[in-house]
Amino acid sequence: MLGVGPLGLTCSVEGRVMPDAILLSKGRYRARLARGPEDVAAAQALRTLAFRTTTPDRDHFDALCDHVLVEDMRQGDMLVCCFRMLTMEGGAEIGRSYSAQFYELTGLQSFEGRMVEMGRFCIHPDHHDADILRVAWGAMTTFVDRTGVQMLFGCSSFAGTETADYLDAFAMLKHRHLAPKRWLPRVKAPDVFRFAARLRRKPDAKKAMLRMPPLLRTYLLMGGWVSDHAVVDRQMNTLHVFTGLEIGAIPPARKRLLRAVAG
């Protein structure tokens, strides 16, 4: 049984977007929602390759999420990027998110408005075209506009678990990008790096941005914010920070750029 979303995107009655929607086609790349189990399996295979996990990268959240696939149409629709989205009607549902396993998110329970958790973002390790990331964000912009999402959030990952590799980046996060106090995630995971409390250094801006993961850098350019600590995830061999982006707070010039890509 189908319904129609706020801006005309076909949706299920549960509010999830049906998997036949093309979100964006730009140049050689097309972003679309997964159509079924084969597409989800392809996304899991790309994640396994990109994250270099020893076992297939899949979990029970895959069945709850919409999956976005970015394909290279000049290479036989080769899958070059993917991510998944878990939609919630408001902060009262934040406890069912992937991020809630690692962060105490009580502060966000009062958020009023539709939210989407963006997760498992990856780009094929052999593909380095900057347009892939642009198309992925353009697809997310289309999704946000069509479904009335008011906040994006997720875990932004640094490769490896050695904090010394990223001290300027963490110092930059502390000085410029911490979450508003009312939304600030608290510590829940047993192994964390409390960079806001521990770092006293003034960040070297150039070094910080060079070490900042591209996805997180994009969030920050749009006005995103982060937790005051990083979770040390030894299973995934990453350090990650909770990242939030309130759609209403995105600078107008940045919105215009995103919508230019989405258009």
Exposed e or buried b per residue across 160-180, where buried means at least 16 C-beta atoms within 10 angstroms of its C-beta: ebebeebbbbbbbbbeebebe
Contact criterion met (CB below 8 Å) for 177 and 226:
yes
pLDDT at residue 1 above 60?
A: no
Mean pLDDT of 116-134: 95
Cα gap 94→53, rounded to integer Å: 27
Predicted confidence at residue 7, as pLDDT, reads 31
Predicted confidence at residue 19, as pLDDT, reads 42
Q: Which of 57-61, 106-110, 144-148, 189-193 has the lowest mean pLDDT?
A: 144-148
Domains of the chain, residue spans: 2-262
Predicted confidence at residue 16, as pLDDT, reads 52
Beta strands in 48-123 (DSSP E): 66-72, 78-88, 103-104, 114-123
**Phi/psi zone of residue 33: left (φ > 0), alpha (ψ -120 to 50 degrees), beta?**
beta
Contact criterion met (CB below 8 Å) for 157 and 121:
no
pLDDT at residue 137 above 60?
A: yes
- Domain 2-262: CATH superfamily is Gcn5-related N-acetyltransferase (GNAT) (3.40.630.30)
pLDDT tens digits, residue range 201-259?
999 999 999 999 999 999 999 999 999 999 999 989 999 999 999 999 999 988 888 88
Cα gap 37→166, rounded to integer Å: 38
Task: Specify the higher pLDDT residue, 171 or 255.
Answer: 171
At residue 257's C-alpha, the angle toward residues 251 and 262, to 5°, is 120
Mean pLDDT of 115-124: 97
Both structure tokens of 172:
């930059």
Taking CA atoms, 107 is separated from 13, 89, 161, 184, 223, in Å, by 29, 16, 27, 7, 19
pLDDT at residue 171 above 80?
A: yes
Both structure tokens of 194:
């409390």
Scan for tokens 């919409």, then name that residue: 66
| C-alpha neighbours within 13 Å on the C-beta side of residue 87 | 20
CA 133 to chain centre: 12
SS3 117: strand
Both structure tokens of 74:
């000049």
pLDDT at residue 13 above 50?
A: no
Residues of the chain with pLDDT > 70, as a percent, come to: 92
Contact criterion met (CB below 8 Å) for 24 and 135:
yes
Contact criterion met (CB below 8 Å) for 20 and 9:
no
